[in-house]
Amino acid sequence: MPFRLSVLIFLSVSFAAAAETPPGTDYVDDFGYSGCIELKNDSTRVVLCHQAGGRVLEYSLHGTNAIYLDPEGAGWTESSGERANMTGGRFDIGPEQVVPRRPTLWQGTWVPEILGPRAALLTSKVDQNTGVRVLREFRLDADSSKLQITQRIQNVSREVKEYCHWSRTFAVGGGIAIVPLTPPSRFPNFYTMRRGRDEILIRPVDENVRHRDGYLEILGPPAHPKLGIETYAGWFAYLAPNDLMFIKRYNTYRDRAHAEVDGHNLSIWYPADRPMVELEPIGPRETIKPGRLASFTETWELKPFPFPGRGQTVDLDKVQQLANP
C-alpha cells in the first residue's frame, strides 16, 4: 500500500475514533445552537444548551418534548444583542428577592463536558456579582426517562455566602399541577399568592387552585401567577396537555430554614398570557464557606398520561401510583 494512502487511512481512523462519544451521548445541533450535548436511550432524549445559560432544550419521551421553548429565542447568545426570553429547562440560585443580578450565570456561556454514558456536566464561568461558580451534572438512566440533575454552588470568593437552589423549569403550558400536601403548614390555605411585586396574599382563594383529598390541584392560571407552596412530600407532578406526566422528585427538609420571603419550598408560576408554566423546587438556605460547595439534586421522570378532557376529574390515586410508587 502506498505510504500516502496509508497515512490518509490512519488519519481518517484516528479522527473517527476521536469523534466517538460514550454510549447514549452525542453532539447535535438544536434550536439554533451547534454542538449541544445530547443524552439519550431508547425512549428518552435530553439536549443541553451550554451556549446560553446552561439549560435543557429538550426532555422528551418517544419524541414528545415536555419543555417549553419560545421560538423567538432560538440561537440567542450574549453576543446577539437585546436579551431574548430565556425559556427551556432552566436553573438558578436564590433567594429570589435578595440574590444579586447574575447575567454570567443566567445567560452566559458554560463549559460543556461529557462525563460518560448518558452523563454530562455544564460549568459556568465565575460570576463576580454573587461570588460563585455553578456546576450542573446530568445523568440519564439507561432504561427509563429518569434524569438526575445535581446543581452545585461553589463559593469562589473570600466571604461566606448564603444562597439556595432554585429550579425554574419551563414546561408546556395549559396543564394541571398536582402537589401532595403535608400538614401542618405555616400557610392557612397551604399556599401563598404574590400580587404584584411586593404583596403576598397569605389566605388566597382562587377558582383554579383546589384542595382535594390531600392534594393541591392547580387547574389553570390563577388570578396572580406566582404561587408559593409548602410541601415535604418530596415530589409533585405536572400533567401536560401533550399527554405527558412530568414528575419532579427531590429531598425536602422540614427542620431547615428556607430563604424565600414567605419560606416556601416550591413555587408554581402559571401566567395566563403565555403558553408555559414554571415548575420551581427550592432548596433550603445554604451557608457556603469560601472554597466550599452546596449541592441539590432533582430527579425528573416522564410518563404517558392522557390529559383529562373538559369536565373530567384527575384520578389522584393514579397520579400517586405513577409519580410516587
Q: Residue 314 and residue 309: Cα distance in Å, rounded?
A: 9
Note the pLDDT of residue 194: 95
How far is C-alpha 324 from the chain's CA centre?
Answer: 19
Condensed to tens digits (0 to 9), the pLDDT of residues 5-59 reads: 443 433 443 333 346 999 999 999 999 999 999 999 999 999 999 999 999 999 9
List, in sequence order, the alpha helices (H) in 44-95.
none
82 by DSSP, 3-state: which? Answer: coil
* Nearest 10 degrees: Cα torsion 274, 280, 286, 290: -50
Query: What DSSP letter does each residue of 92-149 carry, written as one string?
Result: EEE-TTTSPP-HHHHHS--EEEEEETTEEEEEPPPBTTTTEEEEEEEEE-SSSS-EEE
Burial 213-227, CB ≥16 within 10 A → b, else e: eebbbbbbbbebbbb
Q: CA-CA-CA-CA torsion for 74, 80, 82, 84, nearest 10 degrees?
A: 20
- 195 contact partners, CB below 8 Å, separation of at least 6: 201, 224
- Residue 165 and residue 61: Cα distance in Å, rounded? 26
Please, are residues 230 and 263 in contact by the beta-carbon 8 Å criterion? yes
The predicted structure's pLDDT at residue 81: 75
Distance between CA atoms of 285 and 272, rounded to whole angstroms? 31
Q: What is the 3-state secondary structure (H, E, C) of 31-43?
A: CCEEEEEEEECCC
pTM: 0.91
d(CA 161, CA 262): 20
- Bridge partners of 93? 165
Please, are residues 39 and 120 in contact by the beta-carbon 8 Å criterion? yes
**pLDDT at residue number 16:** 39
Q: Dmax of the chain from CA atoms?
A: 83
- Dist. CA 58–CA 69, nearest whole Å: 9
The phi and psi torsions of 278 (rounded to 5 degrees) equal -105, 125
What pLDDT does 19 receive? 65
Q: Which pLDDT score, from 0 to 100, does residue 123 have?
A: 98
Report the distance separating Cα 112 and Cα 125, nearest Å: 11
Q: Does domain 21-323 have CATH number 3.40.920.10?
A: no
What is the Cα–Cα distance from 261 to 258, expressed in whole angstroms?
9
Q: Which three cell numbers stand for residue 35?
A: 454542538
**Contact indicator for 132, 157 with CB cutoff of 8 Å:** yes
Positions of the chain with pLDDT lower than 50, given as ranges = 3, 5-18
Q: Are 316 and 212 in contact (CB under 8 A)?
A: yes
Whole-number pLDDT of residue 17: 38
DSSP-derived secondary structure letter, 73: G
pLDDT score recorded for residue 1: 52
Question: Would you list the domain boundaries of the chain?
Answer: 21-323
Residue 294's pLDDT is: 98
For residue 159, what pLDDT is reported? 97
pLDDT given for residue 96 in this prediction: 92
The confidence score (pLDDT) of residue 133 equals: 97
Helices (H), the chain: 3-19, 103-107, 316-323
